[in-house]
Chains A and B, each alone.
Chain A
Amino acid sequence: MEKEKVLIVKYGEIAMRGNNRKLFVTKLVNAIRKNIDSEGDFYVVREQGRLIVESRKGEMDTERLIPKINRIFGILGVCPGIRLKDKNIENIEKAALEYFNKYRESEKTFKVLTKRSDKQYPMISNEVSAEIGAYILENCKDIKVDVHKPEMTLTVEIRNDAYIFSKFYEGCGGLPYGSSGKAVSLISGGIDSPVATWMMAKRGVEVSGVYFHSPPYTGERAKEKVKDLGRILSEYTGVFKLYSVPFTELQLYLLENVPEDKLTIFLKRAMMYAAQKIAYKEHADGLVTGESVGQVASQTMQGINAINAVCTMPVLRPLSGMDKQEIVDMARKIGTFETSILPYEDCCTIFVAKHPETRPKTSVINKIEKRLDKLQDIIDKAVDEAEIFEL
């Protein structure tokens, strides 16, 4: 009797609208492969509405694999189960009993639920359930059938092969990566921006990161840190594309040409311009920032307004209403916190004024910016020279 231990991965089918479905499924398959590749020699098979993870060598450590699969956005959860090549009812019965005995703990009631996508199969679903249920009753002690509130539900799926599973491990939810379109996220390397990026990615937005690199004011290690954060995010999304935009020339230009107390506002506006230009390149329809209202001087409503004034596309600020502690807790949960707190210079802290303006007037800022005749050229050049990493 040939049977294999497999993982049955369920994903949210409804979210995968129309023609793109194949694409999303491919993305999920790639994300799963990427996350479990280091754990052994596995392959992923597409079944209708399911992905089946199998091992080439037959063995799998489900306790290690399941969390790695479950952190991928769009995956509803994972069931450890077995697969039978031989769909003969006698064979299924025997395997079901064996599975039942192995996974049954103290359960006293059960039911068998059969789904049949192989319409050529000689029995209909209810007949299969009844047959297997009876077989288990005959061969087990202390067990009753309860079709309404069973303590254990044994699922039998008859597809190209037959599958038996019971336990369901819930995934982290969210929508499949990319199913809600694209955005570009500004990532500094601090605690907030990776969390903001994660939150939008969870809602199915395909997010590319933009990091502003200002050598020699920021070092290679600061850039490597942002790449590390991108690698962590890619465990949820499968891939993460990161732009590293050289911003030294721009920073120095601003330092020479704008009032010191308004430096931060101008810098953030310049970052928005640059991110927006990258968004056009990426065919993205929005920006993501880690701004949280009131957290720092530039994040007052007046500050946000002055920064937002340069944006022509929506800016998603998922953290805007969160407290720092809430953001920290989330960063810990998603695993970016320890990397975020490594003490390398980030691009915003180089030339910060001692007393930055907290209530900038957008009209005044716009007026000063009119005098900055080289600004857009410098930003264009920076965006053109950006390094791109696929993490």
Chain B
Amino acid sequence: MKVYFDNAATTRALPEVCDLMTNIYTQNYGNPSSVSIMGLEADNILKDSAKKLAPIINCGPEEIYFTSGGTESDNWAVFGTAKGYIRSGKHIITTKTEHPAILNPFKVLESEGWNVDYLDVDEKGYIDIKELSDTIRDDTVLVSIILINNETGTIQDAEKIGKAIKEKNKNTLFHLDAVQAFGKYKIDVKKWNVDMLSASGHKFNAPKGTGIFYMKKGLKVKPLLYGGGQQKNNRPGTENTAGAAAIAMAAEESYKDYDENTRKIRELKKHLFKGIKENISGVFINGDDFEKASPYVLNVGFENIRSEVLLHALEERSIFVSAGSACNSKKKVQSSVLEAMGKNDEQIQGSIRFSFSRFSTIEEADYVISALKEIVPVLRKFQRR
């Protein structure tokens, strides 16, 4: 049995999505900017895709831009705001538990002389909204918050955050990094006062290299790229029509049976943790409990285990998970998210992330439990003394 519980890293592309892309690549391959009928057809694919995506987050289709993925969208939000609003102020705010695609652009701006505040989180990963409100100043141009944390599944209260921002300073823009949330959580940019939002296709069964950037109409946020005027000159470059259609289809699919899927995966998450807890001593959850955190991420700490070793041992049984965050495992740095949540080195080093998709099954969870039951005692027996 092969179990892929690493869906927060990436997901498989759906076959019907790939079929749709093949069709577009081989049949409707016109350039949307071309004047011909082929160009028109391609342009219609883009428009239809935006129309399908817009209601999902409650915005207008003209507010949807197609990008290369989460990193580009995140970078656009930060650098585009900085460039467009530098006259309004040089203060920006984010949290200590952001994805590197937000943290690193913030660090770049910090090195260029911007005032930057990184908000603390509590032991479950939540920011203090009062602290956020107190941190916002007259010259604060941007607050960027991760909606669902990629490592722990902690969900920030975007509605309250949006309200707090706009009450304190109506000119401060609110960017929501929804890369882990889009496709798995209901989003409402109007109700939440969100000005910009980032999402990535490959996190919900569209292919890699596809992304969405929502930008509210009328903002002065500057583009990252300059070129031939495509996407209202905000994101030039010949549009990825196949990618746009793919991301729209995958998004629609992922919100079908939303309530049922959420319930099912929450049960699965509970089942997996219960199974682990009943069979293995010295385990704890990183993040909030089942009802509040995302059902799609379960971050478990194993005492006296090194997660990298556990990851390899699971891999020998065809079980694929992450230690910390997949983006970090190459660099051999430990999770700054867990650090910000107050975990000590040993707790961080023993933490494994299981992340699910709506296709995950209880049988897979049972297989993981039985593997852990065998592996963990052996690994604990042999360790550095």
Query: Is A131 engaged at the interface, CB distance under 8 Å to the other chain?
Result: no
Q: Which of these, A217, A220, A343, contacts B309 with CB under 8 Å?
A: A217
On chain B, the number of residues with a Cβ less than 8 Å from chain A's Cβ atoms is 17
Residue B316 contacts which of A216, A351, A352 (CB distance < 8 angstroms)? A216
> Is the C-beta of A314 less than 8 angstroms from some C-beta in chain B?
no
Determine if B364 is an interface residue (Cβ-Cβ < 8 Å): no
Residues A335-366 near B (CB distance < 8 A): 343, 345, 350-353
Q: How far is the CA of A87 from the CA of B375 in the complex (A)?
A: 75
Q: Assess the B382–A219 pair: CB atoms within 8 A.
A: no
A352 touches which of B309, B330, B382, B384 (Cβ 8 Å) = B384
Let me know if A255 and B331 touch, CB within 8 A. no
B308: which A residues are within 8 A, CB to CB?
A: 219, 345
B residues near A220, Cβ cutoff 8 Å: 312, 315
Q: A343-B330, A343-B332 are in contact. Are A216 and B309 (CB under 8 A)?
A: yes
Q: Is B385 an interface residue (CB 8 A)?
A: yes
Cβ of B9 within 8 Å of any chain A Cβ, yes or no, is no
Give the Cβ gap from B256 to chain A, nearest Cβ, in Å. Answer: 37
B310 adjacent to chain A (CB < 8 Å): yes
B313 at the interface (CB under 8 A from A): yes
Q: How far is the CA of A252 from the CA of B313 in the complex (A)?
A: 15
Report Cα–Cα, A191/B315, bound state, in Å: 28
How far is it, in angstroms, between the C-alpha of A255 and the C-alpha of B382 when the chains are bound? 7
The residue from B316, B382, B383 contacting A215, defined by CB atoms under 8 A apart: B316
- In the complex, what residues of A have CB within 8 A of residue B330's CB? 343
B332 x A217 contact (CB < 8 A)? no
The residue in B309, B311, B383 that gathers the most chain A C-beta atoms within 10 A of its C-beta is B309
- CB <8 Å contact, B310 and A216: yes
Find chain A residues with CB under 8 A from B311 CB.
216, 219
Whether A260 sits at the interface, judged by CB under 8 Å, is yes
Interfacial residues of chain B within 283-317, with CB under 8 A of chain A in the complex: 308-313, 315-316
Residues of B within 8 Å of A215, CB to CB, are 312-313, 316
Query: A343-B330, A343-B331 in contact; A219/B384 too (CB < 8 A)?
Result: no
Tell me whether A351 and B331 are in contact (CB under 8 A).
no
Residues in A whose Cβ lies below 8 Å from that of B384: 350-353
Interface string of B319-351 (1 = CB under 8 A from A): 000000000001110000000000000000000
Q: How far, in angstroms, from A260 to B384 measured CA to CA in the complex?
A: 9
Residues on the B chain within 8 Å of A353, using CB: 384-385
Cβ 8 A contact of B315, one of A216, A217, A345, A352: A216
| Assembled-state Cα–Cα distance A345/B384 (Å) | 14
Chain B residues lying within 8 Å of A219, measured Cβ to Cβ, are: 308, 311-312, 315
B-side interface mostly: helix
Interface residues as binary, B372-385 with A (CB distance below 8 Å gives 1, 0 otherwise): 00010001001111
Among candidates B313, B332, B385, residue contacting A216 with C-beta atoms closer than 8 Å: B313
B379: chain A residues within 8 A (beta carbon): 216
Q: Which partner residue on chain B sits nearest A345 by CB separation?
A: B308
Interface of chain A, main secondary structure = loop
Chain B nearest CB: distance from A6 CB in Å? 45
Closest residue on chain A to residue B385 by CB atoms: A260
- Point out the residues of chain B lying under 8 angstroms from A350, CB to CB: 384
- Closest B residue to A344 by CB, please name it: B332
Chain A residues within an 8 Å CB radius of B382: 252, 255-256, 351
Of the candidates A219, A252, A256, the one having the most CB atoms from chain B within 10 angstroms of its own CB is A219
B304 → A minimal CB distance (Å)? 14
Q: How far is the CA of A260 from the CA of B315 in the complex (A)?
A: 29
- From A342, which residue of chain B is reached at the shortest CB distance? B330
Across the interface, which residues of A come within 8 angstroms of B313, CB to CB?
Answer: 215-216
In whole Å, how far is A367's beta carbon from the nearest beta carbon of chain B?
22
Report the minimum CB–CB distance from B190 to chain A (whole Å).
Answer: 45
A238 CA / B309 CA spacing, docked (Å): 35
Instruction: Assess A217 versus B385: contact at CB under 8 Å? Given A343-B330, A343-B331, A343-B332.
Output: no
Q: Which residue of A lies closest to B331 (CB)?
A: A343
CB distance from A214 to the nearest CB of B (A): 10
User: What are the residues of chain A within 8 A of B316 when measuring CB–CB?
Assistant: 215-216
- The distance in angstroms between the C-alpha atoms of A255 and B378, with both chains bound, is 13
Bound form: Cα–Cα A256–B381 in Å: 9
Shortest beta-carbon distance, B383 to chain A, in Å? 8
**Hey, what's the 0/1 contact readout for A274-314 against B, CB within 8 Å counting as 1?**
00000000000000000000000000000000000000000
A296 to B332, CA, bound (A): 22
Per-residue contact bits, chain B 251-274, to A (CB 8 Å; 1 contact, 0 not): 000000000000000000000000
Out of A217, A252, A260, A352, which one reaches B312, CB within 8 Å? A217
Q: How far is the CB of B39 from chain A (nearest CB, A)?
A: 40
Structural contact, A216 and B331, CB atoms closer than 8 A:
no
* CA A315 to CA B308, docked complex, whole Å: 34
Q: Which residues of A contact B385 (CB under 8 A)?
A: 260, 353
| Smallest beta-carbon distance A341→chain B, Å | 11
> Distance in Å from the Cβ of B376 to the closest Cβ of chain A?
12
The residues of B that contact A256 with a CB separation of less than 8 Å are 382
**Complex Cα–Cα for A215 and B378 (A):** 13
Shortest beta-carbon distance from B328 to chain A in Å: 11
Q: Which residues of B are found within 8 Å of A255, using beta-carbon distances?
A: 382
Provide the bound-state CA to CA distance between A178 and B7, in Å: 50
Residue of A216, A217, A255, A256 with highest tally of chain B CB at under 10 A: A216
CA distance A255 to B384 in the complex (A): 9
Bitwise, A317-349 to B at CB < 8 A (1) or not (0) is 000000000000000000000000001010000
Q: How far is the CB of B334 from chain A (nearest CB, A)?
A: 12
What separation, in Å, do the CA atoms of A310 and B382 have in the docked complex? Answer: 26
Which residues in window 131-147 of A have CB below 8 A to B? none
> Beyond A218-B312, A343-B332: 14 further Cβ-contacts under 8 Å?
A215-B312, A215-B313, A216-B379, A220-B312, A220-B315, A252-B382, A255-B382, A343-B331, A350-B384, A351-B383, A351-B384, A352-B384, A353-B384, A353-B385
Can you report 15 residue pairs joining A to B where beta carbons are below 8 Å apart?
Answer: A215-B312, A215-B313, A216-B309, A216-B313, A217-B309, A217-B312, A219-B308, A219-B311, A219-B312, A220-B312, A220-B315, A252-B382, A343-B330, A343-B332, A353-B385
Which residues on B are within 8 Å of A, measured CB to CB?
308-313, 315-316, 330-332, 375, 379, 382-385
Interface residues of A (CB under 8 A from B): 215-220, 252, 255-256, 260, 343, 345, 350-353
Closest 8 CB pairs of A and B: A216-B312, A216-B313, A343-B332, A219-B312, A252-B382, A216-B309, A260-B385, A217-B309
